[in-house]
Every structure is written in structure tokens, then in C-alpha cells.
Structure 1
């Protein structure tokens, strides 16, 4: 039985555990803030602790940004603050210090592999996983094969333009999906709309007063005020739901998945709103047969299952597995 050190690295949170190829976690999941500017050191420190618990056979890493899986490098890492860190070498320091093989994959492609091996795929032949977190990303696995693209940069789904006439953008892409619907994009969109939409600029709702007073604005605040009956927040979320349907519909028309699973903080904390919005509007944008839509059963540990799915994919391990019991437990 192989023991694999698993790292699910997000822009915000850094999760780690030890797993086996059949989907079992054999150590507690540790969680801490991601430290982008010392990511190599952070990995080595956690790996040292894990090596003291088990004799490890490999290291598998799910990481955000543009990833060079063959070289074991993160080419571009986008931090929550919007900083872009270029070239983070993870393989060389790990191999030099621990003499272990390293399997690295973009977090969204890895998450799709996690869904394929350990999620709710059942009898579907093609699936898409979408992560609504700080940004929006995703991955496609078709008949067991992850679609990585020419230079392994596929899956930047958050950069699909859902509103090309808008002034909002993300990483230089005008009208990008994640500029409106991600954890970072939602507050930016509603603030921009309040400034530019004459219908609401003079509104005296709780939400608009909060913005006028320069109170902290975040995605959770938008959802809280909408639930409290704030008309402006509700109007913004209604439009965001339609943007989400445009994004998902575009992906469905391109890849014809049988299953679309949803994850990330925005999805996990607002499941009913997200699914209801997609079900209400998806028909407007989807020509092909509509897929099954479901929240991922892997929860906030999907990055770890993604790392393990990456290991399975790269090593060709294909043991029959069911959704592991640990999939329903989340740690943050």
C-alpha cells in the first residue's frame, strides 16, 4: 500500500494530509493560511512533519495558477490580493531533500480528477468540476482523461467573457465570468453597479448605506443583506445567477458533460441560491442536453482528493473505489 503526502493548496488556504490510492486519509487534515511568497518553505515544513508519521512513497500537489506539471513548477500564482508571483519551483526542493517523486497539477484540473475517482460520477462518462472560490476555475475529465490543453493551461473557465460590454475584467480579460461571480468578483461587481446604475445610486437600503459609509464589503456581506431583504443586494445576486448560467451553458455546449459538480467557498456556503439560479436560467444558454448539476460531495477537502486523483492518473492506478467515508468531513 502506497502512502502519498497530499497537498491541496488554494490561494487562501493550505491543506495537507497523508492518503492512500483508494481514497483513504490516514492522518488528520491540517489547515493553515497559504503563504504564497514562501510556498516552497511551507511545503517542506509540512512534509517534514508528515515524514515523521509515515514512510512516504510520493508527494502529490494540487495548486492554483498556471502549472507546468512536467517540470513541477507553478509558472504564475495569483494571490488573493491580486499579486502575480512567477515561477515557484516545488519539485526540485522536495526531490533534493526527501528523494520522493512529485506529482503536481493545477488545482481545478486536479479537482476534476478527484471527482472522477472519488466523487459522485456514478455512470457518467464525462464530467466538469467548477470551483467558485477567490476566482473561478474548473476541469474536464472525459472517459478518464483530463483535458489539459496544448501547454496544460486549460481550465481557466473564470476568464470566459460573460459580459463583454462591461468595464469589469479579470487578469486583463474584459467581462470575465470571475469578475462578477467569484468570491473576489462579487463585491467588486456590486460596488461598481452601485456607482454606475442610476436606478440604485440614490437608494437608501441597508446595503447601499453600508457602501456609502465605506464599510467592509465582501461576498458574505452581499449574501447576508440579500437574505435580510435588501432589494439592491437581491438584484445583484439575481444578475450574478444569470452570469453563472451563461458560463455553465457555454461549457456545456463546448464539452457536453453528463455531470457538472460545484465546489469552492461561494458554492458550499450558498448551495441553494447557486443551484436554483442555474436551474432557472441554464436553458437560455445551453443547446446540448443539460447535465446533472450537483454540489461536490468532497467538500473543502476536494483539493486533497484532487492531489490524490492526480497521483492515480499519473501512476495509472485504477483500483475500484467508492466515495470514501472521509469525503463528507471537511476541514478549514
Structure 2
């Protein structure tokens, strides 16, 4: 049985544990803030702690940004503060310090691999995983093969344009999906709509006053206001549902998946608005056979399962497929 050090690195949080190829975590999952400017050191320090629990056979890492999987580098890493860190070499320091093989993958592709090996795939041959978080990303696995693209930059689904006539954009893409429907985009879209939509000009409620004054205004506040019955928040989320359906429909028409799983805080915390909203409007945008939709069973640990899926994909490890047990046998 192989024991693999797993790292699910996000822009905000840094998750780690030891796992086996069948999907079991054998130490507790550790979560700490990501230290982007000393990421190599943070990884080595945590790896040394994991090594103290039991001998390791490999290291697998799921990381955001542009990844060079062959070289073991993160080419570009965006921090929550908007800094861009270039060329973070993770493979060389690990090989030098621990003499272990390193398997690195972009978090979007890794998450799809996690779903393929450990999620709800069952008998589906092709799946898409979508993450609704700070931005929107995802990956495609077709008959066991992850689609990475020419330079391994596939999966930037949030940059599909769902409203090309809009003034909103993300990373230079006009009308980008994530400019409206991500954790970062939702409050921006709502504020923009209040400012530009004559239907709501002069409308007065506690929520619209919050939007106008930008006081404590976040994506969760929009969902809370809609749940409380605010008409403006509900109208915004109804349009967001249509944008989500347009984005998902485009992906379905392009890849014909049998299964689409959703993850990320925006989806996992707002199932009714996100999942049901997509299902409600999908017929307007989807030509191919409608896939099965489900929330990911892997939750916030999908980055770790993605790292483990990356290990299995690269090594050809064959183990039982299915939703794994994440209960640990060793305190971490």
C-alpha cells in the first residue's frame, strides 16, 4: 500500500494529509492559511511533519494558477491581494530534501480527477466538475483522460462569455461568466445592476441601501437578502441562474458529459439557488442530452482528493472507485 503526502493548495487555504490510492486519509486533514510568498518553505515544513507519522512513497499537489506539471512548477500564482507570483518551483526542493517523486496538477484539472476516482461518477464515461468559488473553474475527464489543453491551461470555464454586451469583465474577458456568478463577481454584478437598471432606480430597502453604500456587501449577503424576500436580490439571483445555465449549457454542448458535479463555497452553501437555478433554465441553452447534476460529495477536501486523483492518473494506480472514507487512523 502506497502512502502519499497530499496537498490541496488554494489562494487562501493550504490543506494537507496522507492518503492511500483507494481514497482513505490516514491522518487528520490539516488546514492553515496559504503563505503564498513562502510557499516552498511552507510545503517543506508541512511535509516534514507528515513524514514523521510514517514513511512516504510520493507527494501529490493540487495548486491554483498556471501549472507546469512536467517541471513541477507553478508558473503564475494569484494571491487574494491581487499579487502575481511567478515561477514557484515545488518539485526540486522536495526531491532535494526528501527524495520523493512529485505529482503536481492545476487545481481545476485535479478536482475533475478527484471526482472521476472518488466522487459520484458511477457508470458515467465523461464528467465535468465545476467550482464556484472566488472565481469559476473546472475540469473535464473523458473515459479516464483529463483534458489539459495545449499548454495545460484548460479549465478556465469562468472566462466563457455569457453576456458579451455587458460592461463587466474578468481578466480582460468581456461578459465573463465569473464576472457575474462567482463569489467575487456576484456583489460586483449586483452593485452594477442597481446603478444601471432603471427598473430598480430609486428602490429602497435595507439591502439596496447596503449595496449603494458598499457596507459589508458580499456574495452571502445577496443570498441572505433573497432568502429574506428582498425583491431586488431575488431578481439578481434569477438572472445569475440564467447566466449559470448559459455557461453550463455551453460546456454541455462542447463536451457532452454524462455527469456535472458542482463544488466551491458558492455552490455548496447555496444549493437551491445554484443547482436548481441551472436545472430550471438549462433547456434554453443545452442542445445535447441533458447530463446528471449533483453537488460534489468531496466538499472542501476536493483539492486533496484531486491531488490523490492526480497521483493515480500519473502512476496508473488501480484501486476501488467510489466515495472514500476520510476518517483518519492517526491524529495529525
TM-score, shorter chain, exceeding 0.5: yes
How far residue 292 of structure 1 moved from its aligned partner, in angstroms, is 0.2
**Which residue of the partner structure matches residue 330 of structure 1?**
none
1:227-264 deviations in Å (ceiling 9; x for gaps): 11111111111111100000000000000000000000
Could you say what secondary structure the match of 2:164 adopts? coil
Higher relative contact order (CA 8 A, sep 6+): 2
Q: Does 1:265 align with 2:258?
A: no
How far residue 211 of structure 1 moved from its aligned partner, in angstroms, is 2.2
Find the aligned partners of 1:114 and 1:36 in 2 and give their Cα distance.
24
**Which residue of the partner structure matches residue 94 of structure 1?**
94
1:287-306 matched pairs, under 5 angstroms: 287-306=287-306
**Which residue of the partner structure matches residue 134 of structure 2?**
134
Alignment gaps of 5+ in structure 1: 328-332
Find the aligned partners of 2:97 and 2:325 in 1 and give their Cα distance.
33
Find the aligned partners of 1:212 and 1:143 in 2 and give their Cα distance.
49
Contact 2:113 2:146 in 1 (8 A): yes
Find the aligned partners of 2:75 and 2:248 in 1 and give their Cα distance.
27
How far residue 325 of structure 1 moved from its aligned partner, in angstroms, is 2.7
**Which residue of the partner structure matches residue 241 of structure 1?**
241
How far residue 198 of structure 1 moved from its aligned partner, in angstroms, is 2.1
1:126-275 matched pairs, under 5 angstroms: 126-275=126-275
Alignment gaps of 5+ in structure 2: 328-332
How far residue 214 of structure 1 moved from its aligned partner, in angstroms, is 3.0
1:5-20 matched pairs, under 5 angstroms: 5-20=5-20
Contact 1:7 1:17 in 2 (8 A): yes
TM-score normalized with structure 1 length? 0.96
Contact 1:65 1:75 in 2 (8 A): yes
Q: Does 1:316 align with 2:316?
A: yes
TM-score normalized with structure 2 length? 0.96
How far residue 82 of structure 1 moved from its aligned partner, in angstroms, is 2.9
Contact 2:158 2:177 in 1 (8 A): yes
1:100-153 deviations in Å (ceiling 9; x for gaps): 111000101001000110111000000000001111100000000000011111
Find the aligned partners of 2:4 and 2:325 in 1 and give their Cα distance.
18
Find the aligned partners of 2:296 and 2:229 in 1 and give their Cα distance.
29
Find the aligned partners of 1:155 and 1:171 in 2 and give their Cα distance.
15
Contact 2:191 2:212 in 1 (8 A): no
How many residues were matched structurally? 327
**Which residue of the partner structure matches residue 73 of structure 2?**
73
Q: 86-95 or 251-260, which moves further after superposition?
A: 86-95
How far residue 275 of structure 1 moved from its aligned partner, in angstroms, is 1.3
1:182-226 deviations in Å (ceiling 9; x for gaps): 111111111111122222231111111112333121111111111
1:49-88 matched pairs, under 5 angstroms: 49-88=49-88
Find the aligned partners of 1:277 and 1:130 in 2 and give their Cα distance.
15
How far residue 79 of structure 1 moved from its aligned partner, in angstroms, is 2.2
Find the aligned partners of 2:166 and 2:79 in 1 and give their Cα distance.
24
**Which residue of the partner structure matches residue 330 of structure 2?**
none
Contact 1:107 1:303 in 2 (8 A): yes
Could you say what secondary structure the match of 2:47 adopts? helix
Could you say what secondary structure the match of 1:139 adopts? strand
Cα RMSD for the two superposed structures: 1.1
Q: Does 1:24 align with 2:24?
A: yes
Could you say what secondary structure the match of 2:318 adopts? coil
